[in-house]
Structure 1
Amino acid sequence: MNVSILIPLLLVYIAIMSWLAYYGYKKTVTQEDYLVGGRSTNPVIMALSYGATFISTSAMVGFGGVASVFGMGLLWLAFLNIVLGIFVAFAIFGKRIRKMSLHLNANTFSTFLGKHYDSKFITIFSGIMIFIFMPAYTSIVLIGGGRFVQESLSLNFNVALLLIAFIVSLYVISGGIKAVMYTDAFGAIIMLLGMVVFLFLTYYAVGGVVDGHRALSALNNMVPKELAADGHNGWLSFPDVGSPMWWTLVSTLIMGVGIGVLAQPQLVMRSMTVESDKSLYRSVIVGGIFIFFMAGATYMIGPLSNVYFMETSGELAIQVAEGNTDLVIPKLINSLMPDWFVYLFTLSLISATISTLSSLIHVQAAAFSEDILKPLGIKTVLWNKIKPARLGVIIGVILAILLAYILPGGIIAQSTAFWFGICAAGFLPSLIGAMFWKGASKKGAETSIIVGFLFSILGFLFLKSSQSSVFGVSKALFGKDYLLPFPWTHIDPLMYALPLSTAVFIVVSLKTNSKQQAKGNNRNTEVVSVNE
């Protein structure tokens, strides 16, 4: 890349982002401003921030690379992203969360659940889960941005990681959610422009929509033997039902991320930042269009990269990337796109990385200060010199950097599914119960959250081979990477942890309510007998 062109572009970009962050800082006066933007955020800003937080480098780089292997079947995930992640999240869930959080004076996801169920345990335990496990997701967003900068700018990966983390930590510490959302919205516009151009130029390079899909279909006889043995039927077809690839595609990539979006703390909190239901309805349109172009385009470009690389190098995309799916999209851009687009997409991916990282670290900091320390009566730390939220940012950034060095290559999509899956199993039943079921009880919610997280984590540690082999706990304890044979090795823990946590939530709530009702009847009987 031409440094004389790139440097001025980056300087202009950083200047705009810095001004927006400073503007957010000046608008941040109260703790409510820092956490939920004073509940008066413009709906367009909120929708763009939500989309930019949702669609990070994990989607643009990680899932784009995974789509080059699994094919167009991932478009079902884009469908769920729009239906569940936008329409249901805003128009149905968002409306109730906004009103209830205002009534409860709740400024974080964990506080919302804890105050509704009148449970300090839920607040603290949920905050701890977020603070401990969210770095697994934060780190892979950082990896995605670092890998692209490494590939496109020929910059050292370590330098790229530290630079991105430093930029994010600066304005999250100072401006809170307002600075995050303003910079997110600006980044979202750049991301949208970059992805629209990327999709158009990719189809143009493979001969258009019809010829491109025909060429992709013609590659069916080029499916590698190991993928065919796992059920691969070509890039325009679903894998064989019940095969390893089918279980991974359906249970992990489509269901895990598609359902998990409803229980994402950093996304749920966006509903708390607007002032009316009308704002949420307006956000549906903006958010839907954004997700359609961002997620849908990514899941189409990935498979089509096989056509391009086969025509230009005689190899499939995963072969060009030497087995690392995280490098497919960066290599496609460097090989296919004109220089001016590389500059544009560099800014797009930097925006995607920064927007998602800032939101995740903000949620981690809020969990640390509001959900863990505040209920314990701790308002300042380190000899009264650092506010807990600021310290939470610093710790979150350090954890993300450390994990970015530890996690192996090609892990972006798997780590995304891990975080989304454990959130769905742990939080979704109690979240839905809080909004829609008057019979939901405190004990039911507490038990459900514990069961959801417990079985999800056990599944990832001891059953699902792609994660259990990386964590190494099963190997250390039992001498093997996983404990049960196929299909358990490829079934996402969400598929059994979420039904279990839901069942526990319903059963315990019903029993708790029946016992309380029985105690109430006994008291009434005693009162009557005394009066007699």
Structure 2
Amino acid sequence: MAVSTSTFGIVILIYLMVIFYLGWLGYKRTCKDDDYMVAGRKIHPFILALSYGATFISTAAIVGFGGVAGSLGMGLLWLVFMNIFVGIFIAFAIFGPKTRRIGQNLSAVTFPELLGKRFESRFIQGFSGALIGVFMPLYAGIVLIGAARFIETALGVHYDIAVLIFTIIVAAYVITGGLIAVMYTDALQGFLMFIGMGILLVFTYRILGGINQAHQSLTELGHLVPQALVQGGHQGWTMMPELGSPIWWTMVSTIILGVGIGVLAQPQLAVRFMTVESDKSFNRAIFVGGPFILMMAGVAYITGALSNVYFFENFGQIALEIAGGNTDLIIPMYINNAMPDAFVILFMLVLLAASMSTLSSQYHTMGTSIGHDFYRGYLLSGKAGRTVNITRLGIAVTILISVIFAYFLPISIIARATAIFFGLCAAAFLPIYAGALFWKRMTREGAIAGLIVGTLSSLFWLTFVHAANAVPLGISEFIFSTETVITGTWTLVDPILIATPLAAIAAIVVSLITEPPSDEHLEWCYGKS
């Protein structure tokens, strides 16, 4: 079923008018680098929470991980717990205030600059900026895929055209308005997402006969799990996979831990901590961000799993069979088949909002990483001067790269690519980010060691050991004539569980054997004790 193109066109036109108005407000209020980079450091806690949540939860969560829940089941709800406990509570209550204060003391306007100034290293700032600029387009590409897949199924628009049109819309207000425009539009989009997901939850349980009946029906479908998944450890959509099985390792190490922990080191999220005026803002933001994440991620995963009941009762097939094996199509196909036309239009806006909020933040982060951190901070050795135009050029270039990814990445890639990027950020940034905030003894040499060890070990494990990535890439096969250089259970372990501890050990050991930072520098970073 496809919704009326004319009806949707009218709705989307109104929506875009509001979005561009907010983008224009951001443009008018962007007078200096601080405005473009960190929204003038005067963002309201409510805007912070919605912007953070809308950036965190994208089509990767709703379409990608919702589709994975349709395949693997409700065990993904543990990721919701991690999202709230780590991504909201620990992030806002512990990491946020420290990041805000140190960022303000150092006059840092980007995440790489915060690390670079704390450790007095242009290399750290430049390397971090380059790492973000090179690898974040992969994450942006899969967010584009999520939005374009839904547009494709709902309106019957060719996928390639959907990607192109959607990209142009997002690019228009990000390039001009900076972070102020991004956060204003994020707040509106977050509100739409919350309303839409709430309605989806109510409709789903209503269609399936209520909460108890829906979950009971899903449990009774356990015998329909495909044999290949059963052999991998799948025990039904309302049960966790068999302990230690390949699917268990994928769900726990790659999805739950990879994304759940990796969120703390996401540059596009950490920079939001530097946009508020006081530490009190974070306490207020927790009470908005927690329920928001619960509604966004929780509803997506519940709906994805329960779609099996709907498809079996109406078409005699489970969700994965209906979607032709492509998990990225499960949520779009469920919405378009099960929901009323009016809600399909509303959910289209929800997905557009989810994609636009995340993409706008990604594009802004990639642009600042290239323009401000790599170009100015490293290549120009931090020389004074405005870099907004270079940043805008960086945004344009990374947008082009992400579009190329969206055209050529394989099916069922959204959740896996998200976990790859989150895991890489955790390995490369989390140990030295935590050290920058909480351990004054961490040295420049220790931070550089942690950054390099985390990056290289994560990429090595992805390429040569972790079978889910190494086998499709084929690099290990090409070089060593073997799919993975290690065999056995190790090939199931996600890089985050290997690379992040290695990076932390390297940072700690090297810091302890090198000269500590000067008291003057520490006072500049943390203020007087």
TM > 0.5 between the two?
yes
| Alpha-carbon shift at residue 386 of structure 1 (Å) | 8.7
Given that residues 118 and 436 in structure 2 are in contact (C-alpha distance below 8 angstroms), is that contact kept between their aligned partners in structure 1?
yes
1:516 to 1:56, Cα distance in 2 relative to 1, 3 A: closer
User: 2:265 and 2:196 mapped to 1: Cα distance?
Assistant: 29
CA distance in 2, matches of 1:495, 1:462: 15
Range with greater deviation from structure 2 (274-283 or 323-332): 274-283
State the Cα deviation string for residues 271-324 of structure 1 (Å, max 9, x = none). 000101111111111111110100111111111111111111111100100000
Amino acid at match of 1:249: M
* Gap change, CA 1:217 and 1:398, over 3 Å in 2: same
Query: Which residue of structure 2 lines up, in the alignment, with residue 167 of structure 1?
Result: 169
- Give the aligned length: 514
Corresponding residue for 2:486?
484
Choose 467-476 or 296-305, whichever is displaced more.
467-476
1:470 deviates by: 2.8
Match of 1:421 among 409, 420, 423: 423
- 2:303 aligned partner, one-letter code: I
**1:5-154 matched pairs, under 5 angstroms:** 5-154=7-156
For 1:93 and 1:516, how far apart are their aligned partners in 2? 23
**3-state DSSP class of the match of 1:488?**
helix
Q: How many angstroms does 1:478 deviate by?
A: 2.2
Aligned match for 1:439, one of 419, 431, 441: 441
In 2, Cα distance between the equivalents of 1:393 and 1:197?
A: 35
Residue 269 of structure 1 deviates from its aligned partner by 0.5
CA drift of 1:164 comes to: 1.1
**Once the two structures are superposed, what CA deviation does each residue of 1:97-128 show, in whole Å capped at 9, x if it has no partner?**
00000000000000000100111111011111
State the AA in 2 paired with 1:242. Answer: G
Contact residue 33 and residue 388 of structure 2 kept, 8 A: no
Q: State how far apart, in whole Å, the 1-side matches of 2:290 and 2:306 are.
A: 24
Partner residue in 1 for 2:319: 317
- Which residue does the alignment assign to 2:523? none
Deviation at residue 242 of structure 1 after TM alignment = 0.8
Task: Give the partner amino acid of 1:49.
Answer: S
Query: What residue number does 1:184 align with?
Result: 186
Mapped partners of 1:379, 1:91: distance in 2: 34
- The match for 2:467 is 465
- Checking the alignment, whether the CA contact within 8 Å between 1:379 and 1:387 is kept in structure 2 is no
| Secondary structure, counterpart of 1:489 in structure 2 | helix
Q: Secondary structure at the residue paired with 2:186?
A: helix
Name 1:357's counterpart in structure 2: 359
Map 1:169-248 to 2 at 5 A.
169-248=171-250
Cα distance, 1:42 vs structure 2:
1.0
Quote how far apart the aligned CAs of 1:204 are: 1.3
Query: What are the Cα deviations for residues 128-169 of structure 1, in whole angstroms up to 9, with x where unaligned?
Result: 111101111010001111111111111111111111111111
Contact 1:101 1:107 (C-alpha < 8 Å) held by counterparts = yes
Within 5 Å, which residues of 2 pair with 1:381-396? 387-396=389-398
Larger radius of gyration: 1
Maintained 8 Å contact 2:371/2:388: no
Q: Which runs of 5+ in 2 are unaligned?
A: 520-529
CA RMSD of aligned residues (A): 1.8
Query: Structure 2 vs 1, CA of residues 232 and 377 (structure 1 numbering), >3 Å: closer, same or farther?
Result: closer
Offset of residue 351 of structure 1: 0.8
List, as ranges, runs of 4+ consecutive aligned residues in structure 1 with deviation greater than 3 Å. Answer: 376-380, 513-517
Q: Secondary structure at the match of 1:387?
A: helix
1:164 aligned partner, one-letter code: F
Contact 2:143–2:355 under 8 Å retained in 1: yes
Equivalent-residue separation in structure 2 for 1:490 and 1:157 (angstroms): 33
Distance 1:405 1:486 in 2: 34
Q: Distance in 2 between matches of 1:109 and 1:229?
A: 43
Residue by residue over 1:28-72, the C-alpha shift from the partner in whole angstroms, topping out at 9 and shown as x without a partner, is 111100000000011111111111100000000000000111111
What residue number does 1:397 align with?
Answer: 399
Question: Is residue 370 of structure 1 aligned with residue 404 of structure 2?
Answer: no
Distance (Å, rounded) in 2 between the aligned partners of 1:365 and 1:458: 27
Indicate conservation of the 8 Å contact 1:379/1:388, yes or no. no
